[in-house]
Amino acid sequence: MSKIKESRIISTALIIMIAVIALAGVNYIIMQPEEIIYAEGWENDFPDQYQSYLRNAEMVQTTYGGSKPVDYLEKYPELRTIYEGVGFDIEYLRARGHVYSLEDVIHTERNKAGASCLACKTADYVAMEDEHGSDLYAMNFYEMAEGAKAGVSCYDCHRNQPGVLEITRGHLKKGLEYLEEDYNKKNLVCAQCHIEYYLDPETKEVTVPWKYGTDVADIEATFIEWNFTDWTHPRTGGDLYKIQHPEFETYLGSVHDSFGVTCVDCHMPQMQNEEGESYHSHHWTSPLHTVEASCLGCHSQAGNELIGEVEALQGRVEEKNIEVIQKLVELITRIEEEKEDLPEDVLEAVYQLHRSAQVRWDFVFVENSQGFHHYEKAMAYLEEASDMIEEALNMMD
Ligand code: HEC
Ligand code: HEC
Ligand code: HEC
Ligand code: HEC
């Protein structure tokens, strides 16, 4: 064989080899597993978690809670006065299961400020934030919502590694920077959404007001420093705050927190499948449906006795809640009638007391456990609210 022919064969072989390597490389990139955002993608790999996840579509009511979308405006008509002008006087339904979160935010009659309203409603938001960064927040709500397909899903807590807990929400990481403690991830995955937050009026960024801590007074102090209020009440002319769903903040410092019991222990109890293997329930709902698995590992009472104790605490919170609701309506009516005649400094002081009272009541009212997560805290906030309203009413006498 001539030298030339030989080198031709070698170079042809080289080219083929390089081509094969290059193609394999391209192929390798193409074949990288796609991110799985929707629960269906894990149906075969994790059937127990997936099947329990499907149960989030169920709607069952309990005495004070549950997943039926109860109409709060019908249950408490006074809310039309208390929330007048902030949207919750138009429509306000009780929260239901995680699979409904996307459709519920799209269909609410309340106003949507921007795409950041999707932050706690869909796993697609995580992928959108990866793609658009901080430009996402103020983008058009409906355009972004069209691209989203599912409510809360595996990707929200695990990204692509089911079983490994990951904090996917930047707003929580930012909020936690203000706090000194290291919290258990089994609380933090829930705190991604079950916390107080607001949308920055300009950038629409999801903002967690924990600069001074997580108690209502700390959150109020943060609002004051950041010069934020949610709206001006059309009847009184005073500025007010609107609280969202501070389950995490309420639970902090409770008996259960101090014993290290996490959201997951009660709301995602260990279950067994037919083969006797255990897994965490992924049906997030009232733990009163699962007291045996959720509570009786620690509590020695009979199940219905323990439920009775929970409902007794919730009943006392409800009684106090109704008392404060009525006093708030009285205060709003009095301010509306008398504001023209009050000296400016008195009116300012009355506005301040109304704002502080209402934020304390709202913190308890919109928290979804009806005070169970931290009974003493809930009662103390309602007590403070009640005293502040008295003080404001007295100032107008
Ligand atoms: C000690 C057990 C326990 C812990 C810990 C706990 N919860 Fe709860 N949670 C309950 C009970 C009990 C209720 C009241 C359910 C009812 O009234 O039917 C509740 C209610 C709720 C509700 C309303 C559900 C409904 O169907 O009414 C949400 C949302 C919630 N909890 C979220 C959380 C989050 C988030 C955490 C952690 C920050 C947490 N919970 C920690 C026991 C617990
Ligand atoms: C709201 C947060 C959240 C979502 C959403 C979520 N998980 Fe989990 N998952 C958890 C928590 C918390 C654990 C318990 C982790 C621990 O104990 O360290 C867990 C555990 C697991 C495990 C480990 C085995 C077990 O059951 O303990 C698997 C597998 C898993 N999840 C799969 C899924 C799948 C599949 C989906 C979607 C259908 C999903 N998860 C959605 C929070 C979530
Ligand atoms: C990505 C945001 C997000 C995360 C993470 C999240 N939730 Fe939720 N959760 C929601 C939203 C939104 C709703 C209300 C959905 C609706 O009403 O459409 C909700 C509703 C609930 C309910 C009421 C459903 C019912 O049946 O009563 C419970 C209980 C609950 N979540 C518990 C948890 C727990 C426990 C965790 C952590 C393991 C968690 N959530 C993590 C967003 C989230
Ligand atoms: C890991 C252990 C543990 C789990 C799980 C647990 N608890 Fe508790 N719980 C405690 C401890 C400890 C106390 C404080 C001592 C006491 O009162 O028994 C407590 C106190 C209570 C109290 C009375 C005090 C109060 O103010 O809250 C109630 C009611 C209660 N738990 C209900 C429940 C319910 C309902 C569940 C399940 C949804 C539950 N617990 C799950 C350990 C636990």
Q: Whose C-alpha lies nearest to ligand 2, atom 40?
A: 154
Residue 136 has pLDDT above 90, yes or no: yes
Question: Same domain for 52 and 24?
Answer: no
pLDDT tens digits for range 62-78: 999 999 999 999 999 99
Question: Same domain for 181 and 213?
Answer: yes
Question: Same domain for 9 and 122?
Answer: no
Q: Nearest ligand to the C-alpha of residue 118?
A: 3
Instruction: Please state the rounded mean pLDDT for residues 88-116.
Output: 92
Question: Same domain for 12 and 48?
Answer: no
Q: Nearest ligand to the C-alpha of residue 38?
A: 2
284 alpha carbon – ligand 3 mean position (Å): 7
**Listed residues 303, 330, 358: the one ending a domain:** 303
Spatial distance between the Cα atoms of 129 and 229, rounded to a whole number of angstroms = 26
Mutate to test the pocket of ligand 2, among 125, 280, 281 (most ligand atoms within 8 A of CB): 280
Q: Which of 65, 51, 93 is nearest to 287 (CA)?
A: 65
Q: Is residue 123 part of a domain?
A: yes
Q: Whose C-alpha lies nearest to ligand 1, atom 39?
A: 263
Question: Same domain for 223 and 74?
Answer: yes
Question: Same domain for 61 and 143?
Answer: yes
Instruction: Please state the rounded mean pLDDT for residues 197-202.
Output: 95
Confidence band of 29 (pLDDT split at 50, 70, 90)? very low
- Specify the pLDDT at position 311: 98
**Listed residues 243, 276, 303: the one ending a domain:** 303
Q: How many domains does the chain have?
A: 2
Q: Is residue 169 part of a domain?
A: yes
Question: Same domain for 110 and 132?
Answer: yes
- Specify the pLDDT at position 112: 86
Question: Same domain for 27 and 84?
Answer: no
pTM, 2 dp: 0.93
Pocket of ligand 4 from Cβ distances under 6 Å? 255-256, 259, 261, 265-266, 287, 291, 294-295, 297-299, 306, 309-310, 375
- Which domain, by its residues, includes 20? 1-32
Residue 28 has pLDDT above 60, yes or no: no
Q: Is residue 102 part of a domain?
A: yes
Spatial distance between the Cα atoms of 221 and 219, rounded to a whole number of angstroms = 5
pLDDT tens digits for range 313-336: 999 999 999 999 999 999 999 999
Average pLDDT, the chain: 93
315 burial via Cβ count (<10 Å: 0-12, 13-18, 19+): middle
Question: Same domain for 164 and 216?
Answer: yes
Position in ligand 1 atom list of the atom nearest CA 294:
2
Q: Nearest ligand to the C-alpha of residue 169?
A: 3
Q: Is residue 46 part of a domain?
A: yes
- Specify the pLDDT at position 176: 98
Question: Same domain for 18 and 102?
Answer: no
Position in ligand 2 atom list of the atom nearest CA 48:
26
pLDDT tens digits for range 234-287: 999 999 999 999 999 999 999 999 999 999 999 999 999 999 999 999 999 999
Q: Is residue 359 part of a domain?
A: no
Q: Nearest ligand to the C-alpha of residue 279?
A: 2
Pocket of ligand 3 from Cβ distances under 6 Å? 66-67, 95-98, 100-101, 104, 120-121, 152, 156-157, 189-190, 192-194, 263-264, 267-268, 284-286
- Specify the pLDDT at position 331: 98
Q: Is residue 3 part of a domain?
A: yes
Q: Whose C-alpha lies nearest to ligand 2, atom 43?
A: 157
Confidence band of 26 (pLDDT split at 50, 70, 90)? very low
250 alpha carbon – ligand 4 mean position (Å): 15
Residue predicted with more confidence, 34 or 99: 99
pLDDT tens digits for range 356-384: 999 999 999 999 999 999 999 999 999 99
Q: Is residue 255 part of a domain?
A: yes
Residue 14 has pLDDT above 80, yes or no: no
Residue with tokens 């993608």: 41
Q: Which two tokens stand for residue 206?
A: 């999801």
Question: Same domain for 68 and 150?
Answer: yes
Question: Same domain for 22 and 60?
Answer: no
- Contact of 340 with 300, CB cutoff 8 Å: no
Instruction: Please state the rounded mean pLDDT for residues 203-209.
Output: 96
98 alpha carbon – ligand 1 mean position (Å): 14
Q: Is residue 357 part of a domain?
A: no
Cα–Cα–Cα angle for 71, 384, 218, rounded to 5 degrees: 90
Spatial distance between the Cα atoms of 373 and 367, rounded to a whole number of angstroms = 9
